[in-house]
Amino acid sequence: MSDALNPVTENDLHAYADGHMAVDDAARVETWLAEHPEDAARVAAWRSQNAAIRDMFAPYATTRPEDAALLAVQARRPILERLPLRAAAAVLLFALGTATGLGLPSLLGAPATATPIFKQASEAYAIYAREVRHPVEVWAGEKDHLVAWLGKRLGEKIVAPDLASAGYTLVGGRLVPVDGVAGALLMYEDKSGKRLTLLLGRTAKKNETAFQFASNGAVETLYWMDNGLAYAVSGEISREALRAVADLCYRQFQPA
Amino acid sequence: MLDLMPSLRRYARSLTRSDVDGEDLLQDSLERALVKRGQWSGGSLKAWAFSIMTNLYRNDTARATRRRTAPLDDAQDVPSTLAPPGDPLERRKLVAAIDSLAPDFRAVLMLVVVESMSYREVASLLQIPEGTVMSRLTRARAQIARILEADNVIPMRRSE
């Protein structure tokens, strides 16, 4: 009746379906729905979906006997055991601060922006190489997809270097933040399960640098920049072995 | 915190695709909350815990990729005694439609529908304007409607 003066908006329909409406407003919407069967049908569909979705997850709203222990044990867990998680949290903070650009909650902390590439590389190694179940996002079985995907995110065609002559085979790769933009982390493994990571990130300038070593605890990193990309190989291996791997990478990243 | 466990567990499961991922997310969130408990401002513990979980979910790219590349197996994850009533085929279609939602949309839908939060609560929890909550909710429902109409498809798209 008073449609023109008091139109029912799309938002009103959702609020009505979700039961978030004052009584007066709800009456107004009901009047509208009586005159607009299409809207009424949509609201009815949302309501039945709401009920179905609620039913779907309602069985999970339970406590389990181990819950109290879960909270207590975690609080008391030895510091050493928690370190990888803390490191993971640090990477998450970094990703949150830089990768999404969504204006994230300040409680998540400030983004780390000035971390040198070798430090980012050794941290990525420390986190992901020790992951047993989920070291990579995409496994080597889908190598073509992996390099195409990472290359696209990186904005540069890449290859996964063949390190077989050094005794390492590709495990897979994942997307990681490098200097606040998408970078690629490739992981390799030798027969004994010892792992190496190769981090690739974009650099602001197209400069070229020599190979440079850096140590971070037990993790050695060898890094260089070449043609707009920064490369860093990290592992808990000797500098000589790392050097051999970096040579292989460097040669295979050269344009033919 | 213990009082929040049922709703946190339910929310974790509503965001993820499988029981395993749901429990992983729950445990990661608890760990995170305990490590960061100094940062709790003293406001609603529930909102704080939910926002930690939402952020972990939204930013865990590994988990997101697994979810998107894994075959749809949701319905089978629920033990049959717990399975909600209703036509299994219809439910499966709805599950597929929900799984196609981007994380931000899914989170809003679940907070509104499953956790029965008001739009304002969701906005403050996600630190986004209420208008954004509404537009995500609207788009989530439009997408679900589209997919249910299309009457097929299990989303198998790769993360890009």
Q: Is A66 on the interface with B (CB under 8 A)?
A: no
Give me the amino acid identity at A131.
Answer: E
Residue B69 has, within 13 A of its CA and on its CB side, a CA count of 15
Contacts of B84 in chain A (CB under 8 A): 52, 55-56, 58-59
Q: Classify domain A114-253 at the CATH superfamily level.
A: MucB/RseB, C-terminal domain (3.30.200.100)
Q: Is A18 on the interface with B (CB under 8 A)?
A: yes
From residue B16, alpha-carbon distances to A90, B21, B26 in Å are: 23, 6, 10
Structural domain contains residue B140: yes
Selected residues 180-239 of chain A with any CB under 8 Å from a CB in chain B = none
Interface ipTM: 0.78
Domain residue ranges in chain A: 10-60, 114-253
Do B97 and B148 contact (CB within 8 A), yes or no? yes
Structural domain contains residue B160: no
Structural domain contains residue B83: yes
Mean pLDDT of B30-59: 84
Contacts of B101 in chain A (CB under 8 A): none
Task: Calculate how close chain A gets to B39, using CA atoms only, in Å.
Answer: 7
Helix axes B130-150, A37-57, angle to 10 degrees: 90
Q: Looking at residue A186, what is its pLDDT?
A: 95
Spatial neighbors of B19 by CB under 8 A, at least 6 apart, are B13, B77, B78
Task: Calculate how close chain B gets to A223, using CA atoms only, in Å.
Answer: 25
Do A115 and A128 contact (CB within 8 A), yes or no? no
Q: Is A92 on the interface with B (CB under 8 A)?
A: yes
Q: Looking at residue A18, what is its pLDDT?
A: 93
Do A176 and A202 contact (CB within 8 A), yes or no? no
Q: Is A69 on the interface with B (CB under 8 A)?
A: no
Interface contact flag, B141 A49, Cβ < 8 Å: yes
Residue matched to tokens 């490098």: A178
Q: Looking at residue B78, what is its pLDDT?
A: 38
Structural domain contains residue B126: yes
Q: Is A59 on the interface with B (CB under 8 A)?
A: yes
Q: Record the pTM.
A: 0.51
Total of domains in chain B: 1
Q: How far apart are CA B41 and CA A103, in angstroms?
A: 19
Closest to B84 in 3D by CA, of B14, B155, B160? B14
Q: Which phi and psi (to 5°) does residue A79 adopt?
A: -60, -40
**Nearest CB to B35 within list A11, A67, A86:** A86
Q: Does residue B10 carry a pLDDT above 80?
A: yes
- Tens of pLDDT, residue by residue over B95-148, are 888 988 988 899 999 999 999 999 999 999 998 999 999 999 999 999 998 888
- Tens of pLDDT, residue by residue over B68-105, are 443 344 434 433 334 444 566 677 788 888 988 988 89
SS (H, E, C) B45-70: HHHHHHHHHHHHHHHCHHHHHHHHHC
Q: Which phi and psi (to 5°) does residue A214 adopt?
A: -150, 145
Structural domain contains residue B156: no
Q: What domain range includes position B91? A: 2-150
Interface contact flag, A52 B94, Cβ < 8 Å: yes
Chains A, B: CB contacts within 8 A come to: 134
- Starting from the edge strand earliest in sequence, which strands make up the sheet with A219-226, in order? A138-139, A169-178, A181-189, A195-202, A229-235, A219-226, A212-216
Interface contact flag, A108 B55, Cβ < 8 Å: yes
Best of B31, B50, B54 to disrupt the A interface by mutation (most A CBs within 10 Å)? B31
Q: Which phi and psi (to 5°) does residue A71 adopt?
A: -70, -45
Q: Looking at residue A253, what is its pLDDT?
A: 83
Contacts of B118 in chain A (CB under 8 A): 20
Query: Which tokens go with A189?
Result: 């493994």
Structural domain contains residue B53: yes
**Nearest CB to B113 within list A54, A95, A134:** A54
Q: Looking at residue A160, what is its pLDDT?
A: 92
Structural domain contains residue B157: no
The H-or-E segment that residue A139 falls in is strand A138-139
Structural domain contains residue B159: no
Interface contact flag, B34 A74, Cβ < 8 Å: yes
Helix axes B45-59, B103-113, angle to 10 degrees: 150
Contacts of B75 in chain A (CB under 8 A): none
Taking only the tens of pLDDT, chain A with its 256 residues reads 445 556 899 999 999 999 998 888 899 999 999 999 999 999 999 998 999 899 889 888 888 877 776 676 544 444 444 445 555 555 555 554 444 444 333 333 333 345 788 888 988 998 888 888 788 888 888 888 899 889 888 888 889 999 999 999 999 999 888 887 889 999 999 888 889 999 999 887 777 778 888 888 888 899 888 888 899 999 999 888 898 999 899 888 865 4
Residue matched to tokens 């036509």: B87
Q: Is A52 on the interface with B (CB under 8 A)?
A: yes
Interface contact flag, B22 A60, Cβ < 8 Å: yes
Q: How far is CA B128 from the centre of its chain?
A: 17
Interface contact flag, A54 B85, Cβ < 8 Å: no
From residue A242, alpha-carbon distances to A131, A186, B18 in Å are: 21, 15, 40
